[in-house]
Amino acid sequence: MDAHNLNLPEHYINRELSVLEFQRRVLALAGDPSVPLLERLKFLCIVSTNLDEFFEIRVSGLMQRREAGAGTSGPEMMSAQQALNEIGIKAGELVAQQYRLLNDEIIPQLGDSGIHFIRREDWNEEQRAWLRDYFRHQVVPTLSPISLDPARPFPRILNKSLNFIVGLDGIHAFGRPCDRAIVQAPRSLPRLIHLPPGLTDTGENDFVFLSSIIHAFVDELFVGVKITGCYQFRITRNSDMYVDDEEVDNLMRAIEGELASNRYGAAVRMELAHNCPDDLARYLLDVFELDEQDLYRVEGPVNLNRTLAVYDLTDREDLKYPPFTPGLPDVVLDTPSIFDLMSRQELLLHHPYESFSPVVDLISRASKDPDVVAIKMTLYRAGEESTIVDHLVAAAQAGKEVTVVVELRARFDEAANIAFANRLQEVGAHVVYGVVGFKTHCKMTLIVRRENEQLRRYAHLGTGNYHPGTARAYTDYGYFTTDDDLTEDVQNVFLQLTSMTQTPPLRKLVQAPFKLHDHLLRLIENEISAANSGGTGHIIAKINALVEPEIIHALYRASCAGVIIDLVVRSICCLRPGIPGVSDNIRVRSIVGRFLEHSRVYYFHAGGKEKLYLASADWMDRNVFRRVEVCFPIEQPQMKSRLMADLDLCLQDNMGAWELQSDGSWSKRQPGPGEEPVSVQYSLLEQTADQRLSS
């Protein structure tokens, strides 16, 4: 097919609409009766959190483009207004489904299981008295109800905070009529109040929403005035951080300033109680300069993600996924020192099935080992209380050369990253804040150790973050090596990040933003050449997102040449599979389950030589052009076989996998007649359990 025809707009899926399709797949887990009940609630709340970020970043960007009068963009050639119209419809359907699941399935079934959310109309006299006392002593002192008056501007509403618009009828204390007021609930207040066991005969797990308490007793805030209505609402604001790369002279100060201002960015969405009168809804829309399509009416708590507190407030392990203990290969258990192990062989770990502890142990031992002279590390996300940062601090205090490349612009982790960067600087570590204009997203550690009068390098490379918490929830690979070529490449990339100079030609690492994009296109082109010559062409990629147009175009060309292409894409996929004459040979799957699929693995048949890579990069414009990423080959035969087995499980999965259709919709895979059920996540969990038993 003519290359131009491969680039037709109808051959591409809009990125934002693909994001919403991913949320639909996550929401399906909240509606799956085979998933434990509290986990279903968690998935429901995860969708809410994801939608918050979607509106804060993606929708806000579309609104800015619309206001700027921008035309169509992206390979699908959709205008900002067209995208916003589609988002309004699809996001509205998602939100409606969320609250149907909450009200019709999850809350009733939790009640049947002994966890109750007690509505105002169901409070008995004793409960009402206790809750009134709670309101007066725990809530009222934190509130500042504001009557709206010509002399008073509408109060500033914090991003994603819980608020109430109150209808009033009467004359206030200073003799003027009042008809509206705003009550803002501070974030310090819990959104779920756990009732004392003595107040109910239904058990120990009875809860009342803070919004219900404020609704019930709001009249006590407006003495002498009639309350005509009280309705909760929540505003989502633009939270995309803008730092002018040309003007900034201190990145940390610039980001700290943006963090403060982002709490009150432009409004992009309003969630409002379903029963709020239209006149009040229109009033609020006018105040926040929003359109009708930006309004989402909800029947339940507007801050749905805060409902997840019940997960930790109840001791009900029977309603959660069974706990598991990550495994460790025997070779790790049998070797007292990670340095001894790495000096003998390479190591590949698959988290969370295998423990993240060897990664932490590597940094811990390096911080204490008198023979270690230097530690270099990239930190994109590490968490607010990071044991890895603690070990780096200890290493610096022990006099070792510690260099940490901190990415301050890791979205929504900026404050935590600033905090641990300050800690490291205070003890004398060399802290570098990435590269202006390019996020440092690669995951690398280099340890330099003096052995027999010479320096030896030890490296860890990963597909995920150095965050022990997410290592239990995200699937990622971690690779430990002393390979001379690879560790020298890692050393040179660190030198580049600190000195900003060019690296010598890298021997094994492939780095973005310099070489990765061209390298991927060349690997795809090699598969096309093999297929055109009558040989086998096969590509497998497990990534989080596929957006970059040139890569998609190359995959279409490969499909036309007869290359078999299997893509496992967790969330965003702008490629359309199954288009006759364009993408007949491309299959796209997405695996959604207990763990967040996060690892990036690339496979190319390469004329039978089979090239396998692990990487920090997805196939997106930002990853290949605007981030510092690394891609590294896995060459050891046993490790390659293991990665291929994992990929094969992904392709066989018929329990947690969805398949992308050419119209952009996703269909859940099911075991066919006589076909065994296969779940890659459960299979790997079972392998971990077998590994522990055999040990």
> Is 441 one of the annotated active-site residues of the chain?
yes
State the DSSP code for 152.
B
State the DSSP code for 156.
P
Residue whose C-alpha is closest to residue 242's, from 102, 65, 61, 417: 61
Report in angstroms the alpha-carbon separations of 620 from 11, 273, 547, 574, 606.
17, 38, 5, 10, 23
CB 622 within 8 A of CB 628: no
Q: At 249, phi and psi to the nearest 5?
A: -115, -15
Residue whose C-alpha is closest to residue 400's, from 451, 356, 450, 443: 450
Q: Peptide bond before 549: cis, by omega within 30 degrees of 0?
A: no
* Cα–Cα distance measured from residue 177 to residue 173, given in angstroms and rounded to the nearest whole number: 9
Residue whose C-alpha is closest to residue 380's, from 291, 275, 466, 478: 466
Q: Look-up: residue for tokens 């967790």?
A: 570
Tokens representing 27 are 């929401």
Bridge partner list, 431:
404
Q: At 283, phi and psi to the nearest 5?
A: -60, -45
Residue whose C-alpha is closest to residue 552's, from 580, 597, 517, 526: 517
Q: At 175, phi and psi to the nearest 5?
A: 85, 10
CB 436 within 8 A of CB 497: no
From the list 350, 391, 441, 517, the catalytic residue is 441
* Cα–Cα distance measured from residue 252 to residue 33, given in angstroms and rounded to the nearest whole number: 47
CB 356 within 8 A of CB 472: yes
Q: Which residues are catalytic?
A: 441
